[in-house]
Amino acid sequence: MAADGASAFRGALGRIGWSVPAANAFTNEGFDAMDSLGLVTCDRLKDICKIIHRGTDGVAAVPAAGGNAAVAVAAAPGIPGIVIPMMWEYKLSGMHLWVSERLRQGTPVVAEDFTAAIGNLYTRKVRELEEAKDEEGVQVKPPAPFSKETKWIPFFKLLVNYLSSVTGVNKVPLDYVIRKDDDIAPPDTEFETEHEKLIQVKQLTVNGPAWTYVAPFEKKRDGCGAVKALKSHYEGDAVMSKSKAVAFDVLKHTIYTGERGNFGMEKYTNALSTAFQTLDEYGETLTESRKVDVFLRNNHCTDPKMLSGIAIIQGDADRMSNFAKAADYLALFTNTDTSQKTGRSISSAQRSTNKKKPAIRAGNYTPNEWHQLSDKEKDKVRAKRAAAKASRNKSKRSAAAVSRSSEKPDKGSTDKATNAGDQFALLNKKKKRKVGFEGETSD
């Protein structure tokens, strides 16, 4: 049986280019079957290739003690070295990756299944892993904790992307653990170790709605089971219907009226795009022309530049059938001048170009300055204005009281004729002041 396994293994080595002498030398190192590759690391395979390349020296006979003619140890001929080209060694690494992956998945290792095409595929995977190792400085961040069932699809995509950058026992990305195959043999020890790494997904769910489905798998350290439970629930009919309803609601009620504070064209486009993507994931794909129709219909901005951009898109068949092109083009017509407001004001003719937030004061503000103030700051301004008005009214009442006191004549000391003359002069003075305020010139 072992001979059959070694023979099948040598046949697989032949399919990736190894010569018969080299394949025989490799199996002579103790590899009696193809699955025995999984017992060593890839670096040890390189050492074995060096041994085969170097060969062994012969051993001379050792005579028996006492000078007898008998021989204690027979002579052994040397084994000549066999050149192992770099490509053979590289393809052997691909074979090792294939065997290791199947062992972790609990899938039988059948030498006849390893074709030349599979050998080339896994050799390229080895290269990709090496390239990824060179870029280890750029690590993929895990997704933000899962908090809303209607956000499952983008969360799961980010999770798969993250797991593809995390390597397991044999430096293989962990995303293979969440494969869709269910009819496989029980996992081996290495695969269970990978599951234990994957259960770290609890950190992304422990305080959210998904924890209910992850908790039963924590004690068993079954990360694959936890992810499958999440997929089964959040990709089920109930959640799917709710997610689609939320997406359609976004398409119905998300309106763009111009650049307004923290919601502008970019966020408007992203909101619609996310809704389109959700519907597509759940089998409700909208045509590109339908997407553009929603994009333009929900644009209620009345700025002349924006209306011009919409008219141009409506007259362009290419943009009317491509949501991305329409969105990119219309973004050129957004007016980021926040000083534009509905209504008119005389002071708006001289808009301030200073983007610095105005100080809180009781005086007047331009429309642009007033728009930059928060509701609380506006309340403070109103309070300051009310206090200033109250202070002015108090000052007027005090001035009036002082005036009346100064005009009251002292007993027995004021001449009536003189008092009448003063009153006439004072009346005439007040009249001149009033005429001068209304814009007429007076000398």
Structure tokens at 257: 């009226």
Query: For 371-427, how does the pLDDT look when each residue is reduced to its tens digit (9 = 90+)?
Result: 778 888 888 888 888 888 888 777 767 666 655 655 555 554 445 444 555 554 555
- The per-residue pLDDT for 432 is 46
Q: Identify whether the C-beta of residue 278 lies closer than 8 Å to the C-beta of residue 243.
A: yes
Question: Which has the higher per-residue pLDDT, 18 or 130?
Answer: 18
φ/ψ of 382, rounded to 5, equals -60, -40
Contacts of 27 (CB under 8 A, 6+ apart): 6, 9, 10
Contact criterion met (CB below 8 Å) for 115 and 94 = no
Between 78 and 230, residue with greater pLDDT = 230
pLDDT value of residue 194: 55
For residues 71-99, average pLDDT? 80
Interval 54-70: pLDDT, tens: 877 655 555 655 555 55
- Rounded to a whole number of angstroms, the CA Rg of the chain reads 43
The torsion region of residue 351 among left (phi > 0), alpha (psi -120 to 50) and beta comes to: beta
The pLDDT of residue 57 is 63
Cα–Cα dist 298/139, whole Å:
39
Residue 99: band (very low, low, confident or very high) from pLDDT cuts 50, 70, 90: very high
Sequence spans of domains, the chain: 2-57+78-134, 149-235, 246-333, 357-393
Under the banding of pLDDT at 50, 70 and 90, the label for residue 191 is very low
**338-378 pLDDT tens trace:** 444 444 433 433 444 445 667 787 777 777 777 778 888 88
Token digits for 212? 């209910």
- Per-residue model confidence (pLDDT) at position 402: 57
> Which residues fall within 8 angstroms of residue 162, CB to CB, at 6 or more apart?
140, 141, 142, 143
> Dihedral (C-alpha) 23, 28, 29, 35: value to the nearest 10 degrees?
70
Express each pLDDT in 217-272 by its tens digit.
777 767 777 778 887 787 777 778 888 888 999 999 999 998 887 889 999 999 99
pLDDT beyond 50 at 313: yes
| Predicted pLDDT at 414 | 47
Report d(CA 256, CA 268) in Å as an integer: 6
- The mean predicted confidence, pLDDT, of the chain is 75
pLDDT at 413: 46
The four Cα atoms 422, 426, 427, 428 give a dihedral, to 10 degrees, of 100
